[in-house]
Amino acid sequence: MPDRKFVKGNEAIAMGAIEAGCRFYFGYPITPQNEIPEYMSAHLPGIGGTFIQAESEIASINMLLGAGATGARAMTSSSSPGISLKQEGISYMAGSQIPGVIVNMSRSGPGLGGISPSQGDYFQATRGGGHGDYRTIVLAPSTAQENYDLTMKAFDLADEYRNPVLILGDAMLGQIKEPVVLHPYQGKDYDRDWILTGCAGRRPRLIKSLYLSEGELTEHNWKLHQKYQSMKKDVMFEEFLLDDAKMVVTAFGSVARILKTSVKMARADKMQVGLFRPITLYPFPEAALRRISERIPSCLVVELSTGQMVEDVRLSVNDPTKVEFYGRPPGSIPSPNELLSEIKKAYEKLIGC
Amino acid sequence: MKQVFKRPESLIDVPAHFCPGCHHGIIHRLVAEQIDQFGLRDKTIGVASVGCSVFMYDYFDVDVLESPHGRAAAVATGVKRSRPDNFVFTYQGDGDLAAIGTAEIIHCANRGENVTVIFVNNTVFGMTGGQMAPTTMPGQVTTTTPFGREVATAGYPIKMTEILATLGGTAYAARVAVCTPKHLMKAKKVLKTAFQYQMEGRGFAFVEFLSSCPTNWKMDSIRANQRVIDEMIPYFPLGVYKDVAAVEPESPADE
């Protein structure tokens, strides 16, 4: 019998983190992600871990930076306005090549916005967010199960690339309650020849992001760039009913999940449509999407924003003029019927009949 | 012949980049001496801040982590919680700790994080060219107070040691100077205690050093040193403001 638990999406993240060996959590309260710090505060002390409710999001991310520099598996979580505050630390972690996992169970903005689900943080997550020419790996789950699985994966990717990894969910994925199958973490050992432990038996180590000497920063940035390019081998995506499709619907996260139902409804209405779901938003699965677009040029992008990921889709496909977009500001979650009618409109326009 | 003075082993033998008359070099040496004396070199993790102090990693022969501006106390929290058996200290200026890093230092102290903080107060943002810091003296001319600091609009020099001494998690808070041999000897004693307390797990230990900045004060080294005595010490009284292990509280202005 698999070990199934009926849990909230936020709890699944916390459980995945602990299973992956995360023993340090630093956070600050913000809706709709509070179940993560609450779970961590209850479970970490009993297993020798550390939970700190910090004075700010800024302090949280810098505690993550400090713990990460010692090689500890550590995590912070927040929601959109709090993630904005963490950008400084994320930039420093990227520049200093310090691993860490940052969860954004995003809400709607701009500003204080609201607590409803939104996909308006796509740009912030995939374009760096903080200052400087850097990238973070961004994972976009669409179920509580994926919250659990991808959180474990996030720790591996962070250690492999010595880079911050973001998990971009939303209020729906945080608050939804559904069964999650638990399974043991199976990771490997990562290079630890850079962590700070005190210099006993070796030369002192320095972890920094300041490079002032002529040419030094250029070289550092090229090195980072090569690392970001190498992340492409870890691209993840899902294809759903694409074999005979005449139109591909592209979406991520909770919207992609709703669209699966709409796509099946469209199939029942004799429309040959399928779904392409990026799971890594950075690196974006551009090569896979291009290959698909060579076979199926017609594409509809759906987002719970007025259009962010659609830019990456248009950059990836063969013919951007065949890309339609449906998006709207957050406030409520689109129903399968609402999205079905948008599929119909795009299908009629691009395919005819 | 008996050797009475040598460079601490924890201090790398390179020429310092600090301006002539700056106290950073002296303070570096005092910190390195304590690292040596307690035999901590191979278990120390230093946290560098932003400002002239960031280059501590060019001088201290220990593991160093560079922190974002003002966040050293939060970074040190992450380091120390993960590595409780290491000796962890931050080295921060007044622009860093008392301006942008105020929240981080207050809450690090209040949680009683078992770290040692070296705070160098020279009443000015040094590295950026001499702008007003929260510690700038009333009337002091800086590049952003060209008519002198006007307290009515720019506020008063902030007394971090006094503030931190009020917090429950603070085990030790003291202010020292290095402008005369007598002050320097006292500073050594205070610093030793601040190291000792971390190793005894007593909690947050804080040492504020009054320092000169001849370049940005636009003074020669001797006049700048004298300014510490004439202007800074009267406003920022020296002494131990909190000591959880003290039998009788020491008078703050015991100099």
d(CA A85, CA A78): 10
Mean pLDDT of A156-167: 98
* Chain segment B18-29, per-residue pLDDT in tens: 999 999 999 999
| A28's tokens | 């600050």
Check B79 against A200: CB less than 8 A apart.
Answer: no
A52 shares contact with chain B (CB less than 8 Å): yes
* Chain segment A216-228, per-residue pLDDT in tens: 999 999 999 999 9
A64 shares contact with chain B (CB less than 8 Å): yes
CA distances from B51 to A271, B96, B122, B143 (A): 63, 7, 12, 16
Q: Which residues of B touch A58 (CB under 8 A)?
A: 71, 74, 103-104
Q: What is the pLDDT of residue A331?
A: 85
B82, B90, B111, B113, best to mutate vs chain A, most A CBs in 10 Å: B82
Q: Which residues of B touch A (CB under 8 A)?
A: 41-45, 47-48, 54, 57, 60-68, 71, 74-83, 86-87, 103-104, 106-107, 111
| B162's tokens | 């006094």
d(CA B26, CA B9): 15
Instruction: Indicate the SS3 state at residue B250.
Output: coil
Cis-peptide, bond into residue A32, ω within 30° of zero: yes
Who's near A226: CB < 8 A, 6+ residues apart?
none
Q: Which of B97, B44, B60 is nearest to B208 (CA)?
A: B97
A91 → chain B, closest CA residue: B68
pTM of the model: 0.96
A94 shares contact with chain B (CB less than 8 Å): no
Q: Which residues of B touch A60 (CB under 8 A)?
A: 74
Q: Which residues of A touch B61 (CB under 8 A)?
A: 199, 204
d(CA B159, CA B78): 26
* Chain segment A36-69, per-residue pLDDT in tens: 999 999 999 999 999 999 999 999 999 999 999 9
Where does the pLDDT of residue B249 fall: very low under 50, low under 70, confident under 90, or very high at 90 and above? low
Where does the pLDDT of residue A188 fall: very low under 50, low under 70, confident under 90, or very high at 90 and above? confident
Check B68 against A206: CB less than 8 A apart.
Answer: no
B106 → chain A, closest CA residue: A55
Mean pLDDT of B65-87: 98
B50 → chain A, closest CA residue: A210
Q: What is the pLDDT of residue B253?
A: 56
pLDDT at B250 over 90: no
Where does the pLDDT of residue B252 fall: very low under 50, low under 70, confident under 90, or very high at 90 and above? low
A70 → chain B, closest CA residue: B79
Mean pLDDT of B138-159: 97
The alpha carbon of residue B135 is apart from the nearest alpha carbon of chain A, in Å, by 23
* Chain segment A328-337, per-residue pLDDT in tens: 998 889 999 9
Check A62 against B86: CB less than 8 A apart.
Answer: no
pLDDT at A179 over 60: yes
Check B78 against A65: CB less than 8 A apart.
Answer: yes
Q: What is the pLDDT of residue B100?
A: 98
The alpha carbon of residue A206 is apart from the nearest alpha carbon of chain B, in Å, by 5
Check A199 against B111: CB less than 8 A apart.
Answer: no
* Chain segment A84-127, per-residue pLDDT in tens: 999 999 999 999 999 999 999 999 999 999 999 999 999 999 99
pLDDT at B1 over 90: no
Mean pLDDT of A266-288: 98
Mean pLDDT of A245-267: 98
The alpha carbon of residue B69 is apart from the nearest alpha carbon of chain A, in Å, by 10
| B131's tokens | 């702008």
Identity of the amino acid at A314: R
* Chain segment B101-127, per-residue pLDDT in tens: 999 999 999 999 999 999 999 999 999
Check A210 against B66: CB less than 8 A apart.
Answer: yes
Q: What is the pLDDT of residue A1?
A: 78
